[in-house]
Amino acid sequence: MKRRVVITGLGVVSPIGIGKEEFWKNLIKGKSGVRKITLFDTSKFKRHYAAEVKNFNPSQFIDKRKLKFLGRSSQLSIVATILALKDANINFKDVNGVLIGTTMAEHQQVEVLLKEWFKGDKKIEKNRVVLSPASNLSANTAQSLKIKGLNMLIPTACSAGNYTISYGFDLIKKGDADCIIVGGADALSFIAFSGFQRLYAMAPKVCQPFDKNRKGMILGEGAGVLVLESLEKALKRKAKIYAEILGYGLSCDAYHMTIPHYKGIEKAIKKALDSANVSPEDIDYICAHGTGTIQNDKAECKAIKNVFGRRYKKIPVSSIKSMIGHCMGAASSIEAVACCLAIENGVIPPTINFQTPDPECDIDCVPNKSRKANLRIVLNNGFAFGGNNCCVVLGKLS
């Protein structure tokens, strides 16, 4: 249990950029990826905005003959993985497995299948059925890149990306693997959009985390993938190291299906700090879950106040969901990519759309403009429906 685990590759497909360079450039500029939805008709809904991945051409990365057998979520996951492997300069033969997190998996395929069933179509293509299982997301990612070994889908919704990072960390630390692909992927669909709107959780046009007048989340889509390696392996092959994974914390609120509870969040943060063997005074930045909903932001801020005490106002806490929307199962893995780039570049991404301070969320949310900072240790928060919480601590390699 003494092996150290590091991050050597980053792959991201997001509403503000494909690839780490474009993503980071737009992130620190405070660029919003929120636009009117074009992927499906929203005329019957009250809400019409989301953060879509624009200019996404998977045929640039994936054989066109294979695309018809891959749903959009799989395409996002595969492209992000290709980018991560290229960034890490590592061969697929050296990878011991793939862990992908998700909320909805290949729900677009289920959507098409249901439409055909409801029409009474008796000639449903068998490929439609084969494309539908959720496990396809991780299976397709591994199969497309010929990665053998462990293959797992982790469906803990909006904290799933952090869960894969945590499990990959354990596998490498215990010596069960030397290199693991981890991350999350989710695509926008009619089903996802209608479901979140039915919960009355969506804002009309903009996401305003921690703002007093926030009106809810904005859905997004994308994929964030990271290459994890043992420090020994990374040093041996002289790999670039973005950050070290110091520890993580898990908790389950067991409180409400959709409303978070601050005690569960607090427990996950404390466990993460204990696992990483760091104190609250050591954290230089918190990448918040920060959905922009009334209850989530309030609960997260209360937990931060309880854990960090008098210091809570001095710690920068920003939400990149203000720019990329809530990318569901990809959210915390894309945020982990942002944390790595923040550590590397010494810049904290902003929380955009912030206008009016909220007394219940009186944190330093890095409002509207990015900020230079020397980041040694950062905390990445990920929370999900059902109270599935996972916080990961990342640090600059020393």
How does pLDDT run across 50-90, given as a tens digit for each residue?
999 999 999 999 998 888 888 899 999 999 999 999 999 99
Pairing of strands 317-318, 285-287: parallel
Q: Is 107 a catalytic residue?
A: no
199 plus 255 within the same structural domain: no
203 plus 112 within the same structural domain: yes
Give the range of the structural domain holding residue 369, as residue numbers without chain letter.
247-395
Separation of alpha carbons 398 and 382, rounded Å:
26
* Averaged pLDDT, 121-137: 69
* Averaged pLDDT, 298-326: 97
Separation of alpha carbons 321 and 333, rounded Å:
12
170 plus 266 within the same structural domain: no
Say if residue 119's pLDDT is above 70.
no
Query: pLDDT band for position 199 (50/70/90)?
Result: confident
28 plus 125 within the same structural domain: yes
Lowest mean pLDDT among 196-200, 221-225, 296-300: 196-200
* Last-in-domain residue among 212, 236, 260: 236
* Residue at 262: amino acid letter: Y
Separation of alpha carbons 131 and 28, rounded Å:
37
* Last-in-domain residue among 184, 201, 236: 236
Lowest mean pLDDT among 200-204, 238-242, 391-395: 200-204
Nearest one of 340, 336, 332, 334 to 388, comparing CA atoms: 332
Could you say which of 107, 207, 287, 326 is catalytic? Answer: 326
pLDDT at 292: 97
231 plus 258 within the same structural domain: no
Pairing of strands 388-395, 243-252: antiparallel
Separation of alpha carbons 291 and 326, rounded Å:
7
168 plus 135 within the same structural domain: yes
Say if residue 257's pLDDT is above 90.
no
* Averaged pLDDT, 34-54: 95
Q: Is 289 a catalytic residue?
A: yes
Cβ count within 10 A of residue 64: 8
Say if residue 145's pLDDT is above 70.
yes
Q: Is residue 35 one of the residues assigned to a domain?
A: yes
Q: Is residue 242 one of the residues assigned to a domain?
A: no
CATH of the domain at 340: 3.40.47.10
pLDDT digit string (tens) for 342-376?
A: 999 999 999 999 999 999 999 999 999 999 999 99
pLDDT at 117: 63
Is residue 64 a contact partner of residue 101, using CB atoms and an 8 Å limit? no
Query: pLDDT band for position 181 (50/70/90)?
Result: very high
Q: Residue 180's Cα: distance from chain center in Å? A: 17
Say if residue 116's pLDDT is above 70.
no
pLDDT at 66: 86
Say if residue 280's pLDDT is above 70.
yes
pLDDT at 221: 97
106 plus 160 within the same structural domain: yes
Q: Is residue 268 one of the residues assigned to a domain?
A: yes
388 plus 282 within the same structural domain: yes
* Last-in-domain residue among 211, 236, 261: 236
Is residue 172 a contact partner of residue 178, using CB atoms and an 8 Å limit? yes
203 plus 177 within the same structural domain: yes
Q: Is residue 367 one of the residues assigned to a domain?
A: yes
* Averaged pLDDT, 18-25: 98
From the CA atom positions of the chain, what is the Rg in Å? Answer: 20
Separation of alpha carbons 320 and 172, rounded Å:
29
Q: Is residue 319 one of the residues assigned to a domain?
A: yes
227 plus 323 within the same structural domain: no
209 plus 272 within the same structural domain: no
Per-residue H/E/C for the chain:
CCCCEEEEEEEEEECCEECHHHHHHHHHHCCCCCEECCCCCCCCCCCCEEECCCCCCHHHCCCHHHHCCCCHHHHHHHHHHHHHHHHHCCCHHHCCEEEEECCCCCHHHHHHHHHHHHCCCCCCCHHHHHCCCCCHHHHHHHHHHCCCCEEEEECCHHHHHHHHHHHHHHHHHCCCCCEEEEEEEECCCHHHHHHHHHCCCECCCCCCCCECCCCCECEECEEEEEEEEEHHHHHHCCCCCCEEEEEEEEEECCCCCCCCCHHHHHHHHHHHHHHHCCCHHHCCEEECCCCCCHHHHHHHHHHHHHHHHHHHHHCEEECCHHHHCECHHHHHHHHHHHHHHHHHHCEECCECCCCCECHHHCCECCECCCEECCCCEEEEEECCHHHEEEEEEEECCC
Average pLDDT in the chain: 93
Separation of alpha carbons 4 and 256, rounded Å:
36
Q: Is residue 241 one of the residues assigned to a domain?
A: no
pLDDT at 328: 95
pLDDT at 198: 84
Say if residue 277's pLDDT is above 90.
yes
305 phi-psi bin (left φ>0, alpha ψ -120 to 50, beta other): alpha
Number of domains in the chain: 2
Say if residue 120's pLDDT is above 80.
no
Residue 81: CA count within 13 A, CB half-sphere: 32
Look up residue 251 and give its two tokens.
Answer: 């908790």
* Residue at 68: amino acid letter: K
Lowest mean pLDDT among 51-55, 101-105, 132-136, 204-208: 132-136
184 plus 58 within the same structural domain: yes
Could you say which of 158, 361, 365, 391 is catalytic? Answer: 158
Say if residue 186's pLDDT is above 80.
yes
Q: Is residue 82 one of the residues assigned to a domain?
A: yes
Separation of alpha carbons 203 and 205, rounded Å:
6
Inter-CA distances, 137 with 14, 246, 336, Å: 17, 28, 20
Q: Is residue 57 one of the residues assigned to a domain?
A: yes
Say if residue 115's pLDDT is above 80.
no
Cβ count within 10 A of residue 290: 32
Say if residue 118's pLDDT is above 70.
no
Could you say which of 207, 261, 289, 340 is catalytic? Answer: 289
